[in-house]
Structure 1
Amino acid sequence: MKSDSESNAASATAPWAEEDRVAALESYAILDTPVEPEFNDIVRLASETFAAPIAVVNLVSGDRQWFKAEVGIGQRELPLDVSICAHAILQNDFLVVPDTREDRRFDGNPLVSADDGLRFYAGAILRSAAGLPIGTVCVLDRAPRPEGITAHQRLVLEVLARQVMTQLELRKALVHQGARSDELREQVQQRTAAELALRGVEERYRLASRATNDAIWDWDFATDHVTWNEALEIVHGHAPDAVEPTGAWWIEHIHPEDRERVDRSIHAAIDGAAESWSDEYRFRRADGSFANIFDRGHVIRDDSGRAIRMIGAMLDVTERQRTRAELAINEERLRLATEAAEVGFWDVDLIHDILIWPPIVKRMFGISPDVPVSMADFYHGLHPEDRGFTSEAFAAAADADHRALYDVEYRTVGKEDGLTRWVAAKGRGIFDSDGRCVRVVGTAIDVTERKRAEAELRELNEHLERRVTQAVAEREQAEEALRQSQKMEAVGQLTGGIAHDFNNMLAVVIGSLDLLGRRLGASDARAKRYVDAATDGAQRAATLTQRLLAFSRQQPLTPEVVDANKLVPGMSELLRHSLGAEIRLETVLAAGLWRTHADRNQLESAILNLAVNARDAMPEGGRLTIETQNMHFDERYVAANFGVPHGQYVLIAVSDTGSGMPPDVIAKAFDPFFTTKQVGKGTGLGLSQVYGFVKQSGGHIKIYSELGQGTTIKIYLPRFLGEDAEAELPTAADLPLGDEQEVILVVEDEPAVRQFSVDALTELGYRVIEADSAVAAFRLLDAHPEIALLFTDIVMPDVNGRKLADEARRRRPDLKVLYTTGYTRNAVVHNGVVDPGVELIGKPFTVEQLAAKIRAVLES
C-alpha cells in the first residue's frame, strides 16, 4: 500500500480526477459481466506473442482491479493495493518493468516478493473516448526479462488495447441504441394509445351529443327566452334556478375577449339568411372557470324568412383541445428525439394500405423527402438477398396467430441513388377487438456505419491473427537458425582448441621425423621405411587438424585475386586422376566472369573435396559438372535465403548425377564428423572444411539435392573490385640453405617445439640462439646485435609474439621477423586473414617449408 502522502502526490500529478476516471469505466457497464470469447482471444494472443504465462485485460475501479479476461491467474479480481496495473494508470502511459524486484514501487508487494512472484510486467493503457485511463492490457512473467520488450511487441500490445476499447465502445453504442430504440418504441406506443384515446373521446362526445348530453339551448327571438337542458348544470354547474333564461345572460357568460365577436357573428346569422351558425368561444362556468365551447345552432325562420327561433348545442371541447395540444407537443418531442438519434418511425395502415414514412426513413431507401411512398416502395427497396426473410418477418408480425415481434436487419438499395445501406428495424402489430391486425408500427435505424465498423474490426482481427502467426513462424525460424549457428560456433571453438594443441605436438613429431630421416639417409632402409610411415601418419594427422581449423574458421588465410575460369581448368588433370575413368568431367565457364579474393590453395582444396564427394555418390559412374557464373543478390533475397551482405558474387557450382541426399542428411551435411559413408571411408570433415573456408571468406554455400536426382553444391564468393594483379602460381625450388654468418633468435615456450626449430635451423646452416620467453629474448637481442631474424611463437604466457616483435623492432628497426603459430586467435591474424606485412608459418611445418620461408624473409 502507498502512504497517504504518496497517493496524494500521485493524484496531484494525474491530468484527471479519480472520480471522473471511475465514472468513465462505469459508463461501459462492463464490470462483473460474464466471460466473453472476444476478450479471451485477446489475452491468449498476447500470451502467445510474448511467450508469457500470464496475460490480462484488467479494469481498475476505485476499490479493486477486475479481470474481463485472463490467462494464468485463475480468478476474476484482486485487491487494488497489490495492483501493478494501478502504477500504469498513475503513470498514464505504457509501462514496462523488466524486474519488479529491482523497482522500489513494488517493495513489500506480496505478488512480487513471493517465491514464485511476478517479476516482469508490460502493459498498454485502455483509454476511454475522452482519454481517461480505465485499465490495461498486460502480460506478466514469473521470471525477469532484463531486455524488456521490442518495438514490435509494444506495437502488438497497443493494438490489442485499442481492440479492447473498440469492443467496449461498440458494446456501449449498441446498449445506447437499444435503450433509445426502446424509449422511442414506448413513445410510439404512447402516441398510439393517445390517438386511440382521442378517438374514444371524440366518439364519446358524438354519442353524448346524440344523447343530448351537450348543453342544448332553444332561443325564442320573439320573447328573448332561452331554454336549457339539464346538461348546463351537469357540464357547467349552472343550476336552473340560478340561470336567467335570456339571450343576454348567455352572452354575458362568454369570455369578454370573445363576447363581441360571438355576438356579432350570431346576430349576423340571425339577421341574414343563414340556416345555421357555429363558432368557438370560452364560456364561464358556475365556479368562474371558462370552458372551451364549440357552439352550433340551426336558425328557424317563418315563411317570410324572418328568424323566429334558433336551436343549438354547446359542445365542451376543453378536454379535447387539451389532449390535442399535449398530443401535438408529444409529437414534436418524438420528432425531435428521433431526428436527434437518427431513428425514424414508420406506420403501416393495413386496412387502407397506407405507408407513413418520415424523411429520415425515406433517406434509408434512397428516396427524396417529398416523394410519396407505398408498400411497393418498401418491398422493391429491399436487397434481393434480404427480401425473403424480411417479408416473412413482417408477415409474422401482422399474423393474428403469431403476433411476432418484428426485429430484423436488412440491406436496402436506394431507389434514386442506387446506394446499399444497412437498416435495423423493430416493430409490432396492432390488433382490434376482433383480432384483426389494423396497423404495424415501429422504428428504423441506419446502421451502415456500424456494419462497416464491424467488418473493419473483423478484418483487423483476421489481419492481426495472420501477422501474429507470421511473426511466430519467423521467430521460430530465426531461433532455429540461431541454434544452428550457436551449435556450429561451439563446435568450431572446440575443434579449433583441439587443433591448436595437436599442431604443437605434430610440429615436434613431424620436425623430429624429418631430421631423423635426413640423418639416417639410405644407411638403414628398414629404419628409413619406419620413419617414412610415421611421417606419413603425422602428415595425415596434420591434414586433419588443418580441416578442423578450416571448419572452425581459425586457419589463417592468405587471400589473393583469383580468376575461377583459370583455376578450374588448371585443376582438370588433378580432378581426372581423382575421379577415375567412370566419371565424365565437364566444365561450363561463364564468359566475362568476375574475379574473387580468396585463398587459392583453400579454394582448390574445397573444389577437390566436393568433386571427391560427388565421385563417391556415383559408384556406377556418371557426370560431374563444374560451372562458374556471375550472380547479383538484392537485399531482400539474401536476407531471406543466405544471411550474407547483398551485392555481387562469383558462383562455383559442382553438380553430379549421383544418388542425391534426403532433407535430413542435407540439414547435417556441414556438421563436423558427420558422414554417410562406411566406417573407414571418410572422416566427415570434408564438407565442414569447405563450409568453414567459404564462411571465413565472406561467402555462402548452399546444397540442392533430391534422392535419385543428384546433387548440386553452390559456392558463392564475394566479387573482387580492386586492381591487384593475380598472384603467380607457386613453383617448386631446391632446399635453400643458410650460413653461420646469419644469426636467428628462436623464441618458443614449448621446449620440444623450440628444440626442433633450433635443430632444423642448425641443420640448414644457420647460427641459432634460443629463448623460452619474451623477457629472455629482450636480453639476448641487446647482447647480440648480429641477430638478423627473430623467429617467434605468437601465443606465449607472458608477452605475446606480436608485442615482442614490436618492441624488438623499436630497438632494431632493420630486424626481420617470422611468426609461427598453431592457433589463429592471436595478435597477427584478424577475421581469419594475416595482417598486411606480416610473415607467418603455421604449425606443424616441415624442414623444407621452414627453409623456404626463412630464406624468403631474410631476402625480402
Structure 2
Amino acid sequence: MPSIIQDHTMIRQLSEDFIQLADRSQDAIYQFDIESQTFSFFNSQFFSLYAIEEHGKNILSPKSVLLRIHPDDREKVEHARAVSLQPDNRGGDIEYRLLKNDGSILVMHDRWTVVRDHAGQPVSIEGFIRDITWRKQADKEFERSIRNALIGCYIIQNAKLRFVNPEFIRITGYSEEELIGSDPLSIVQQAYREEVRANAIDMLKSKRLFPYEFCITDKKGHTKWILETSTSIQYKGKRAGLCYFMDISQGKKAELERLAKEKLLSILELAGAVGHELNNPLQVVLTCTEKLAPDADEPTRQSRLYQLLKNNVQRLATIIHKFQNITQYATKEYVNGKKILDIEASSSSKDDYGGSGEPPS
C-alpha cells in the first residue's frame, strides 16, 4: 500500500511540474478531446489568447477559439483540421490571424498532432501555437528593403524563385508572374549553368567569398553579363537563399574593348618592330637582286630563277609594308581551330603603290 501511495504522489508531483512548465511557455499549448468537444488541457497562454468573456466570465470553448480567428481565415482553419482527421493523417499545421480584445491582430502558427486509438480513430488533438507576428513583420520589412534595392534581388527556396524585386524584373525582361515559381537557372545560358550552381552552393556554404560572373538570356533574347552573390537566410520560417544580381554588361563591354585596344597596341608595336628590323636588310636584298639580273643571252632557266627571286622579294616588301600600316586587330582561321593575325584585313595599305598594293620594282 505505501508504494502505491508513493507512486500516486510522484505522478501528481510530475503532473504539477508539467503544468507549471507549460504555463511558463510562451507558446499556447492545448489538448482537445474530440468525443466531448472540450479542451482537456490548456496552459495559461492558450487561455489568455482564446477565451472570450460571457456574462462577466472568461469562457474557453471551441466556439471561443473560432471567434478569435479572423473571419477570413476561419474556413481554411476548419478545412485544415478536417483534413488532419482523415485516415492515415498524423497531424497538420496552418497560419492564421488572431483577433485580440483591443482590436489588434496577431499572426499565429498552429501545429498539432492527432492522437488515435488502436482502431485508428481520432481521439484527441494536441497542439502548440506560436505567435509569429514579429517574424511576419520582419519578413515584410525585409521584402520592402530588397524591393527598393537599386540592384536585382531574388529569393530562392526549394530550387524555385519565391521573390523577385523590380530591378531583377527589369534586367531579365520577364514579369513577376512568369518568374515566381520558376527555376532561376532557366535564364542562365547553358554553358554557365553547372558553374553557377556550384558557385552558388559554395557561397551559401561560405566556401566561396567572391562574386561570380555568368551570362543570361533575357526575354528579348539578348545576352547580358551578370555579377552575383548568394547568402543563406530564413524566409517565411524556412531556409532560403538571397541572391544579389547585378547587370555588368556595359562594364564587360568596356573591358572587352579595353582588351581589344591592348591587343591592337601590342600588334602595332610588334608590327613596327618587325617592319623596322626587316626593312633595311630588305633594301639590301632588293639592290643585290637587281645587280644579279642575268644578261639577255643567259640560259632561260637562270632567268626564270631570277624572276622567281625578284617576285618573292617584292612580295616580302609588300608584306612588310602592310605590317607597317596595321590600324586594327583582325584574325582569321588557321589549322587545328587556331586563329592568326589577318594582315590583309588589319592593314590600311591598299593603294600606296598605284592601286596594286605592290612596292615599285
Check whether TM > 0.5: no
Higher relative contact order (CA 8 A, sep 6+): 2
TM-score bracket, normalised by the shorter chain, equals 0.3 to 0.5
Q: What is the TM-score of this pair, normalised by structure 2?
A: 0.42
